[in-house]
Amino acid sequence: ASSSDEHDVVIIGGGVAGYVAAIKAGQEGLKARLSLTTTACIEKRGALGGTCLNVGCIPSKSLLNNTHLYHQILHDTKKRGIDVGIVKLNLEQMMKAKQTSVDGLTKGIEFLFKKNSVDYVKGMGSFVNEHEVKVDLLDGGEKTLRGKNIIIATGSEATPFLGLNIDEERIVTSTGALSLKEVPKKMVVIGGGIIGLEMASVWSRLGADVTVVEFLNQIGGPGMDAEVAKQAQKILQKQGIQFLLGTKVTNGSDSGSTVSVNVEAAKGGKEQTLDADVVLVAIGRRPYTAGLGLENIGLEIDERGRLVIDQEYRTKASHIRVIGDCTFGPMLAHKAEEEAVAAIEYIKKGFGHVNYGAIPSVMYTHPEVAWVGQNEAEIKASGVKYRVGNFPFSANSRAKTNLETEGFVKLISDAETDRILGVHIIGPGAGEMIAEATLAIEYGASSEDVARTCHAHPTLAEAFKEAAMATYSKAIHF
């Protein structure tokens, strides 16, 4: 390769992990010196932002917000003293609004790349050897980049369901479910994890008859506290979503007009067939490393396809690091972002840090579900003595004025040290409120620290303070 193709850092993948690493590298001075551009980010999609911005977090939150508004206007205005006239869905416009948000944000990253002198290379990257990545450029031709450091940030893809051929129109992953052209009459969702429940909410609010089939006896996917999951299921059922728990899909077929899926009790036994216009496969995601040429450099992947790394994100080739969905840890955008910053700090300064014990999770249904730290079952299993403080939103004044009183805050603390071990919230604004809990855990706060911190009145966050109070004393308002 010529000298102009030589970089301090070459990043493969322009998703949250990759683009944040690129910007951080630029800021850290791993950037243009004389004519030498020293940070390059390779992305094959034709747009930056990866799954999250293009077909994940952002479009799903746009649809969740606007379908909630639509649903609320249809069903939740009268008691508030608002009489509305004819309410009509304009799905095409709703999809345009979604695209406007996506486009604005992806273009914003292109601007940040320019601002931080990051070389944006559009194409598919694959390893030639440990220091060289060949890029098949999107507009034809190829080029080889040589990196002193290389970061793999190639993300993940939906796990397919054997026997159901994804066409993204009738048998869809989340990608197709974010762009349906009409509201399906009947929708079957395979998998009651976060994707399943967020997408079930979107289409159910718009009028689809939605059934979620979940293998386990609990919805919400890994991590969600059982008590919270139970409450979430109750609320979502009340909203019209049907659930088949402890049930697995065995196979399916597409007649051209109807997609049928056969299900049976997870433990064996009762079988039934569910017919639908649209079937969403949401049984998890798996690391994406296809076409990356890993075989050319012999990097190790584990049984779940995750690239194997050490604590500093290094593969066995120590100048090649891996961050985000294609390696260990929760598949979350903010986790990818933290790792991106830490990986660049390791390269530049030799040290970095991510606290994996303080990564929040949010499910953006209505109401939202959010948690950070360990759930009760995990704490019980660890053998630590603990106390639980519960505070219902029905006793919170702001929730009362908003006429949104479903849900509660559950705070679990160490019975001996009072340190907060986990916070689990189901209720209005849970996704914002969890930031305070995350900060508390990050700083090693005790529940008394939180309970003795003055919270503004009337706010939903007072429910968090009172749940903390309830662990070692009594909540005032409940």
Q: What's the closest the beta carbon of residue 246 comes to ligand FAD, in angstroms?
A: 25
Tell me if 20 contacts ligand NAD by CB under 6 A. Answer: no
β-strand partners of 446:
419
Distances (CA, A) of 398 to 75, 301, 363, 460, 470: 21, 49, 21, 6, 19
Considering only residues 350-379, where is the footprint of ligand NAD by CB under 6 A?
A: 362-364
Distances (CA, A) of 78 to 46, 88, 394, 414: 46, 17, 20, 45
Q: Which of 167, 228, 164 is nearest to 365 (CA)?
A: 228
Q: What's the closest the beta carbon of residue 415 comes to ligand FAD, in angstroms?
A: 32
Q: Which does 407 bind (CB under 5 to 8 A by kind): ligand FAD, ligand NAD, none?
A: none
Interface residue with ligand NAD among 43, 132, 157, 198 (CB under 6 A) is 198
Determine whether 2 is exposed, middle or buried from the number of CB atoms within 10 Å of its CB (0-12, 13-18, 19+): exposed
Q: What's the closest the beta carbon of residue 281 comes to ligand NAD, in angstroms?
A: 8
Residue 392: CA count within 13 A, CB half-sphere: 8
Q: Which does 334 bind (CB under 5 to 8 A by kind): ligand FAD, ligand NAD, none?
A: ligand FAD
Q: Which of 275, 322, 328 is nearest to 304 (CA)?
A: 328
Catalytic residue set: 457
| Distance in angstroms (rounded) separating the CA atoms of residues 367 and 193 | 16
Footprint of ligand FAD (CB under 6 A): 12-18, 42-45, 50-52, 56-57, 60, 124-126, 153-156, 174, 195, 288, 291-292, 324-325, 331-334, 336
Q: Which does 191 bind (CB under 5 to 8 A by kind): ligand FAD, ligand NAD, none?
A: ligand NAD
User: Between 290 and 476, whose beta carbon lies closer to ligand NAD?
Assistant: 290
Positions of E strands within 292-442: 320-322, 361-363, 368-373, 386-392, 408-414, 420-427
Q: Which does 192 bind (CB under 5 to 8 A by kind): ligand FAD, ligand NAD, none?
A: ligand NAD
Tell me if 282 contacts ligand NAD by CB under 6 A. Answer: yes
Q: Hey, is 82 helix, strand or coil?
A: coil
Contact (CB, 8 A) for 248 and 264: yes
Tell me if 425 contacts ligand NAD by CB under 6 A. Answer: no
Considering only residues 206-235, where is the footprint of ligand NAD by CB under 6 A?
A: 213-216, 221-222
| Contact footprint for ligand NAD (CB under 6 A) | 190-196, 198, 213-216, 221-222, 248-249, 282-285, 330-332, 362-364
